[in-house]
Each structure stands twice: as C-alpha cells, then as structure tokens.
Structure 1
Amino acid sequence: MSMNLRQIEVFRAVMITGSISGASQLLFVSQPAVSRLLSHTESRVGFALFERIKGRLYATPEAKKLFREVEQVYAGVLRVNELARELGEHREGILNVVSSPSVGQMVIPQAMATFRHSHPQVKLGFQFLGYAPLVERLLNHQADLGVTILPVEHPNLDTTPLGSGRLVCICPYNHPLSRRAILGADDLLAFPLVAYDRGSPFGVLVTGWFEAHGQGYRTAIEVGSPQNACALVQAGAGIALVDEFSVRSWPASQLVVRPLHEAPALHANLVHSRFEPLSQIAQTFVGVLRELMQSEGFEAEGRSVDSIA
C-alpha cells in the first residue's frame, strides 16, 4: 500500500526527532495522534518502521532506506511551496539562469543588470556551474535557461548559438610575449604554462591547438578553469591559454592578451528544454544578452530570439 503526504510528513518528523513527543512538537499535534498515524502507516506499508526498545524508538533498516526517498519527496514539496510563494510575490514572473564560469563572471551579470532596469518586478536567479550540474539543473527544470561555451549534446535540450570568441594567450605585463603581435605554438614553449587536465574540455582544446601546430607542451601548473588560470597569470606564475569570455572579466590593466595563430573558436550557446518554449520573459532576456554579446565584440551567430520561442 502507498503512503499519503500526511503519513510521509509524520514518518519524517519521527525520523528527524527520534521520538513520538518530538514529532508531535514539530508538527504541533498531540502525541496520541502521531502514534495512531504512525501505527496506521506501518499497517499500510506492511512492515515495521520502528522498533521500541526500553521506551525508545529505533528506525528499522527498511525505515532508513525509505527515509532517503522521503527526503527527496519532501524537498520537492518545499520547492513547490517556494515557487507558489514566489509566483504570488513576483507577478511579472521568475527567471532562473545558469551558466558556465567563463560567461558567468562578466557577460551574464551585465545582461541581468540591464534587464533589471526594464523589468524590476521580475525575480532573477543566477548561478555559474560546472558542466554536469548545469545540465542537471536544466533537465530537472530547476533553471529556465543556461549559457555555456562547452558543447551540450542531449536529446532533451536545445542549443542555440549566441556569440563566439577565440582561444587567446594571456601573460603578465612586461613579459617577453607581450611584445609580439600574434603568437604561434613554438613561441610559448620556453615559458611556464598554466594549463588544464588534458581530459577536460579545455584541456582537449589546448592540446588540440598545440598538436595542430606540430608541438607538444609541458604543464607547469594544472588548474580546473580559465578563471584559475587568469588569477595565476595575473600573479606572475606563468602564461596561459584561455577563452576570450573569461579574460574579458579581468581588468585590462592586469593582463596582456595576445591572439593565437589559427586559434579555435569557442561558441557561447543558449541551452534550454527542447519540450518547453521559452517564456516571454526569457526571450526578452536572451535579446538583452545577444545585444550585449555584440557590443562586447563577440560575433553573434544563429537564429533570432523569436525563432527559439
């Protein structure tokens, strides 16, 4: 037999507090009421949830397994209540955005600031995440749209190009490479390189560029993201290859940026559910984001905002 929401609530309260009296205080009901409902729940599921030893309750192994699932259900109920509250408070709507760190440091915050001027009543949410958490948020409908420079291939997600940049080299001021107009792979070999795990998306990109120019490379410091690389280069730890989106979030006075010979392009992509059209609010935000990309010099590509509704 199945458990209803009230039985789930009582079971969870007993698990959390460890006693009938604690559950009654948590739920603001009498102890006999909790005892009756707990007994009825055990009858419905067909097995004991608690063992009573010397006047204390101890959860059975079955109850512990059940509790893990109950916590997920309870978290979902809390999200429903939170959404209902937010919809009541923000009648113009809610927009939750996730992005990769590269565009999350500068591009998305600027777009949100611009969007807020014309839509002050819309509640905005924003996080920059790694690849897997970003995709998970979109698939679980915990975010309305995502923006990432890493390729996203999933049958339930739709991808639309917003703009593009290139891989560039960054170095400290007064570095020998700062006097070059454009850099090739052989120009970089004499200097300590801040790079990435070769199996990571950026590691594959950097390795591919060196190999395309007939060169290998040695990593002096391995980092997890272009933002880490920028910080180390700014501190004078070496040089690095990063995307233009990341380096644009750093003050121009802190880093020297030089183009690479035949540098690969990196595309900023809008990602959202393939089965749900973007809301009018989301479409408006995407329009603001696309205009910002153009004004910052990132070449706009792909379909119009209207075509992704």
Structure 2
Amino acid sequence: MISARQLEVLSTVIEVGTTARAAELLAVSQPAISNMIRHTEDLVGFPLFMREHGRLTPTKEALHIAQEAQHLFMQQKRIDNIIDELRGGTVGRLSIIATPSVGHGVLPRVLSQFLKTRPKLQLSIELGSMDEIIRKLGSGRVDLGLSITPPRHSAVSVREIANGQLMCACPADHELALQDVISISSLNHVSHISYAARTPLGQAIDTLFSERGLERRYFCEVRHTATALEMVRNGLGVALVDSFAVIGSHGDTIAVRQTRPSLPLKLHGLTSNMFPTTNLTMQFQRFLSDYLKSHDGHAGTDGADTGSL
C-alpha cells in the first residue's frame, strides 16, 4: 500500500518536474527522492515516470494517482486545521450547568468575551441546584459545573476559580446607599430581602449574624440571588448578594456597597471524576478565572453606582 509520504513525493516531483527541486522543497536529499520513486513503482507494479535523457515525464497512471491524491491532501489539511482549532479551543461543544446566581450573573458576560475568538463554538447552558449539577456531571451530560458552594462528593473534582465577597445591593436612592460600607446590623432596620435558612447562602448569612449576637430579620424570602437583585431594582428593599452577580451590572438603579464584617466567597469550577475533562473545559475555566481577576473590585461597573468598591 502506498503511504501518504510516497504520494506527497510523487505529487511534488510531478508538480516541479525534477527530483532535485522536489528534494529541496521536501527538505530531503535527491537520492532519497529517487529511491522513494523507485520503491513506489515496485509497490504499484508499473512505471510512474518515463526516463529520457535524464528527465522524468510522468505517465498517465502517475498523473491519475496524483490527481486523486489531492483529495487526500485536502482532507489531511482539514484534519490538521480541526486539530489546531481543538487545541486552541476555537471549535467544539462546551456544556455548562451553573447555579442561578452564577448563570444569571457573570456567566453570560464571560461567555460573550470567550466567544469573540471562538465563533464556531457550540454551547449548552443550564441552571440547576447542586444536586442537579452533581447528577449531570456524574452522568457525563455536562462538561463543567459552576457554583459558589463547593460540593462534597467523590464523583466531582472542585477547583477554586476566583475569590469574591458578599455585597449589599440597595436602590440607588436608598438611605443605605449614602454609606460607603454597610454594617449588616443595619439590614435588620430596613426592608431586607434575604434567603431561606436552608439555602447555603442563607446559612452563611445566619452564621455572620449569630457571630454578632444578632438574629437575621427580613420581610421577603427568596431562593436565588437573581430574584433578590430584581426586587432591589424595583425598589422593594435591600439584599446581600455575591459579588459575582453584580460584575458589569448596567444601569443606575442599584447601589452596591461593601459590608462590615466582610464575608469572603469563592467561585468553584466542578468537573466529573468519571469522565476526562476536555481541553476546551480547562481553557474556559482559565478564561473565567482571568476575567474575574481582571474585574476584582469592579462589581457593578458600566454605569451602576459602586461606592467605594
């Protein structure tokens, strides 16, 4: 069977007309080209060139083989391009499941930047609870999970992507918006929108309050940060939200302030231990980490009031 290299030598000699020029183009010696031609003729069982007065004239059979070989070369080039694109993360499919806080907040903004140099990339984006994230990672239906709360499950690997903190979001004309840093005790004296005690964020906030001998009081209970932010935007009260949810927020209806004491948070990337992590998934995690580091301390920019952030 003729190898791809033999076809390349045959086509090159036909194209340039001499073994010397073909050797130069292929970066080998002229005897190597001549030996390759003779060996190829032995394999096929008929002459590929007519040798007259030191010149090589391709036979009709050789021309026919070389013409068919062009299809192979084009396919090989296409495969090489695909491999380069896959190596660079510019094509393929990326499937992500995120908790609503991340999925409604920073994820769309990061993806808009990530896709600028990857127009052929296909995406699948879902929002789900931690149980759903673990289940879909374990079954191989998604490539990456994103959550502020790290799971403890043997089927999932956890990587810390970025550091964040709890912030206080309030209507821009709210009395608390006049302060650069808002004490969490102040939230018990205003219309406070907060999270159910059984939710991870609700538990973290309860711990923060109890460490100061306080009991968290709120008039409206929500489950997700996105819901809390929409209520704040509509002037219904103030809410503690993660800093990832307010990165790049547009508009001037919300003021975002630091809290006292601060509550550090982390964004975690979750991958399955049951299936190999794709190169594209690893690239997106690095891109997300770099994006969040570059926006650290700039939550609520692009028009939103950020106070002393």
- Shorter chain as normaliser: what TM range? 0.5 to 0.7
Note the C-alpha offset of 1:154.
0.4
- 3-state SS, counterpart of residue 258 of structure 1: strand
Instruction: State whether residues 168 and 260 of structure 1, in contact with CA within 8 Å, keep that contact through their aligned partners in structure 2.
Output: yes
**Is 1:206 matched with 2:211?**
no
Return the offset for 1:241.
Answer: 1.0
1:213 to partner: Cα distance: 1.9
Match of 2:244 in 1: 245
Contact 2:100 2:128 in 1 (8 A): yes
Question: In the alignment, which residue of structure 2 is the partner of 1:271?
Answer: 270
Q: What does residue 149 of structure 2 align with?
A: 150
Aligned residues: 211
Query: Partners in 2 of 1:112 and 1:182 — Cα distance?
Result: 31
Does structure 2 conserve the Cα–Cα contact (< 8 Å) formed by 1:185 and 1:215? no
Q: Give distance in 2, aligned partners of 1:245 and 1:107.
A: 6
1:194 counterpart SS class: strand
Does the 8 A contact of 1:114 with 1:288 survive in 2? Answer: no
Q: Structure 2-normalised TM-score? A: 0.63
The answer to whether the 8 A contact 1:209-1:263 is kept is no
Correspondence 1:277-288 to 2 at 5 A: 277-288=276-287
Instruction: Give the match for residue 184 of structure 2.
Output: 185
Question: For structure 2, which runs of at least 5 residues remain unmatched after alignment?
Answer: 1-84, 299-309
Identity %: 25
Q: 1:248 to 1:180 in 2, by over 3 A?
A: same
8 Å contact kept, 2:161–2:268 = yes
Query: Cα RMSD over matched residues?
Result: 2.2
Q: Normalised by the size of structure 1, how large is the TM-score? A: 0.63
Q: How far does residue 249 in structure 1 lie from its aligned partner after superposition?
A: 5.7
Contact kept? 1:185, 1:213, Cα under 8 Å? no
Structure ID, larger Rg: 2
3-state DSSP of counterpart to 2:250: coil
In 2: Cα distance, 1:185 partner to 1:105 partner = 25
Residue 178 to residue 298, structure 1, CA distance change in 2 (3 Å)? closer
* Alpha-carbon shift at residue 203 of structure 1 (Å): 1.1
Structure 1 stretch 280-289 or stretch 164-173: which is displaced more?
Answer: 280-289
C-alpha separation in 1, matches of 2:187 and 2:276: 46
Distance 1:216 1:140, change over 3 A: same
Deviations 1:42-89 (A, max 9, x none): xxxxxxxxxxxxxxxxxxxxxxxxxxxxxxxxxxxxxxxxxxxxxxxx
Do the aligned partners of 2:103 and 2:127 also contact (CA within 8 Å) in 1?
Answer: yes
Contact 2:140 2:275 in 1 (8 A): no
Q: Extract unaligned runs of 5+ from structure 1.
A: 1-89, 300-309
Deviations 1:85-143 (A, max 9, x none): xxxxx984221111112221242223322332323223221112222212211111110
Between 1:273-282 and 1:239-248, the stretch displaced more is: 273-282
The amino acid of 1:260's aligned partner reads T
The CA distance in 2 between the partners of 1:191 and 1:146, in whole Å, is 35
Q: Tell me which residue corresponds to 2:125.
A: 126
The 3-state SS of whatever aligns with 1:208 is helix
The answer as to whether partners of 1:165 and 1:244 remain within 8 angstroms in 2 is yes
Q: Residue 106 and residue 200 in structure 1: after superposition, are their counterparts in 2 closer, same or farther (change >3 A)?
A: closer
Alignment of 1:219-230 (within 5 A): 219-230=218-229
Give the deviation of 1:229 after TM superposition: 0.8
Deviation, 1:298, is 6.7
